[in-house]
Structure 1
Amino acid sequence: MRVLVAGATGAIGRILLPRLLDAGHHVTGVSRSADGAALIRKAGAEAVRADALDAEGLRRAVAEAAPEAVIHQLTDLSGADGAANNRLRREGTRHLVDAARAAGVRRIVAQSISWVYSPGQGAADESVPLDGTREQPRARIVDAVRALETQTAELPEAVVLRYGILYGPGTWYAPGGPVAAALGGDQRARFLGSVAADDSVSSFVHVVDAARAAASALGWPAGTYNVVDDEPAPGHAWVPVLAGALGTPAPERTTGGAPWARGATNARAREAGWRPSYPSWRTGFAEQRG
């Protein structure tokens, strides 16, 4: 299959490209920069230059690649700029879907997130509606995710992957990353990730498992899938384990937490044939210790 990967040089994209190539796909990666294009070619894929916020430039790039399927892994997280990432989810997705439609593409696999569900008891499955809160900044995040998923669904064979919190190489939760800095007491970094040892429940997924899901989803039925590990956990359980793995002090346990922080279930992705190679963040965090 001819596959175009938008966001090919991100934490997931770098793992995804060789998986797709090993599976026999003809792969083209999209990058804004010459350095990014060089990384894509080094991985063995073809590269096209385009900015997802440039509608016409992206349309030309997708037309040149002539893909049968598009994998949307676009994010803007390196600068911890929430507004930029929200804009990319809204406008970048709009441009990518329009470009894909113009090129005759029917199938798209898009990256979303699993912590946008409405508050409730227990881990959320895909039938739970997205949070309708107007409290900021959460409302802006959920609205951008809603736009991404709605636009993606305009293509007839759309698969949305609601990832858990990503950890592993190249993520905020890797050794030396911003979450390690926050745990180490850098107050400027604390807003980059939730590191409160409270009752808020999170679901994680290792970047390797996220990439595996994206590659496999090229053959999944259209729909929405939570891509998370098997162990949703409160902060007071996972934060000390992560701190130990990163060699940083663990914050004191607190009570309470965000009502929407409930974790998610992966039953539907499992039914599609996906299994996390890191079933628990406990194993994955420990591996980061080296």
Structure 2
Amino acid sequence: MRILVAGATGAVGRQLVPMLVAAGHEVTGVSRTAGGTEWIRGTGAQAAVGDVFDRDGLRRIVSAAAPDAVMNQLTDLAGADGAANDRLREVGTRNLVDAAREAGAGRFVLQSLAFAYEPGEGPADESVPLDTGAAPPRGATADAVRAMEEIAGEIGAAVSLRYGVFYGPGTWYALGGAVAAALAGDPGAPFLGSIAADRSVSSFVHVADAASAAVEALGWPAGPVNVVDDEPAEGRDWVPVLAAALGVPAPEASDARTPWARGASNRLARSRGWRPQYPTWRTGFSS
């Protein structure tokens, strides 16, 4: 299969591109930098320099690749700017889907979120509505998730991978990353998430497992699928384990809880045959 990967040098992309090449696919990776394209070529894939906000340039890249499937693994997290990331989700996905449709791509795999569901008790499955009525900035993020999934759905076979919180190489949760700095008390640490040791529940996914799900999603039916590990957990359980793995102090535990922080269920992904290499953060954080 001919596959174009946008966001090929991000935390998931760096895991994903080699997997696709190893599986025998003809891969074109898109990066915004010449250094990124050099890394892509080193994996055995084709590479192109491009910006998803450059509609005409993106159309030329996608047309030249003539992909059967397009994967959107784009993020804009370097500056910890949630509004910029939401813009990328909406405008970037719009441009990429338009280019993919024009090039005749029949499948689309999208990086989405498993922590944008409405508040409730217990891990959310894919039937739970997105939290679009929430106050900003959360409501804006949920709106952006809904918009990008609807846009992706314009391609008939579109799978929205609702990922849990990423950890592993290249993420904020890696050794020396933004979370370690925040836990160590660095007031300038760029971090958008929550690291409170409270009763708020999170679901995690290692970037290698996120990538393996994207590969498998090439054969999945259209629609959203939660891609998370097997153990949603309260912050007072996972934060001390992460802090120990990073070699930094853990914050004091509390009984507070963010209502929408409920975790997510991976039952649907497992029913389709996906199995995480890192089924729990308990061992994954230190691997």
Where on the TM-score scale, by shorter chain, does this alignment land: which range?
Answer: over 0.9
Residue in 2 that maps onto 1:33:
33
How big is the shift at 1:187?
Answer: 2.3
User: Structure 1: which amino acid aligns with 2:148?
Assistant: L
Residue in 1 that maps onto 2:192:
192
What SS does structure 2 have at the residue aligned with 1:192?
Answer: coil
- Structure 1: which 4+ aligned runs deviate by more than 6 Å? none
Equivalences for 1:85-104 in 2 at 5 Å?
85-104=85-104
How big is the shift at 1:191?
Answer: 4.2
For residues 286 and 42 of structure 1, what CA distance do their matches in structure 2 show? 28
Identity across aligned pairs (percent)?
Answer: 65
**Residues 179 and 192 of structure 1 are in contact (CA less than 8 Å); yes or no, is this contact kept in structure 2?**
no
- 1:63/1:108 CA distance change after superposition, 3 Å: same
What SS does structure 2 have at the residue aligned with 1:241?
Answer: helix
- 1:191/1:172 CA distance change after superposition, 3 Å: closer
Establish whether residue 179 from structure 1 lines up as the match of residue 171 from structure 2: no
Normalised by the size of structure 2, how large is the TM-score?
0.98
- Measured against aligned partners, the alpha-carbon deviations of 1:77-106 in whole angstroms (never above 9, x if no partner) come to 122121211110010000000000000111
How big is the shift at 1:134?
Answer: 3.5
Equivalences for 1:181-260 in 2 at 5 Å?
181-189=181-189, 191-260=191-260
**Residues 27 and 45 of structure 1 are in contact (CA less than 8 Å); yes or no, is this contact kept in structure 2?**
yes
- Measured against aligned partners, the alpha-carbon deviations of 1:225-279 in whole angstroms (never above 9, x if no partner) come to 0000000000000000000000000100012221000000001001111011111
How big is the shift at 1:286?
Answer: 2.2
What SS does structure 2 have at the residue aligned with 1:84?
Answer: helix
Q: Provide the alpha-carbon RMSD of the alignment.
A: 1.0
Provide structure 2 residue ranges, at least 5 long, that are not aligned to the other structure. none
Residue in 2 that maps onto 1:84:
84
How big is the shift at 1:66?
Answer: 0.4
User: Structure 1: which amino acid aligns with 2:256?
Assistant: G
How big is the shift at 1:192?
Answer: 3.1
- Measured against aligned partners, the alpha-carbon deviations of 1:6-36 in whole angstroms (never above 9, x if no partner) come to 0000011011111101111000001111111
- 1:238/1:99 CA distance change after superposition, 3 Å: same
What SS does structure 1 have at the residue aligned with 2:231?
Answer: coil
Normalised by the size of structure 1, how large is the TM-score?
0.97
User: Structure 2: which amino acid aligns with 1:111?
Assistant: Q
**Residues 200 and 257 of structure 1 are in contact (CA less than 8 Å); yes or no, is this contact kept in structure 2?**
yes
Number of residue pairs the alignment of both structures matches: 287
What SS does structure 1 have at the residue aligned with 2:124?
Answer: coil
How big is the shift at 1:190?
Answer: 6.8
Equivalences for 1:57-68 in 2 at 5 Å?
57-68=57-68
For residues 191 and 269 of structure 1, what CA distance do their matches in structure 2 show? 28
How big is the shift at 1:189?
Answer: 2.0
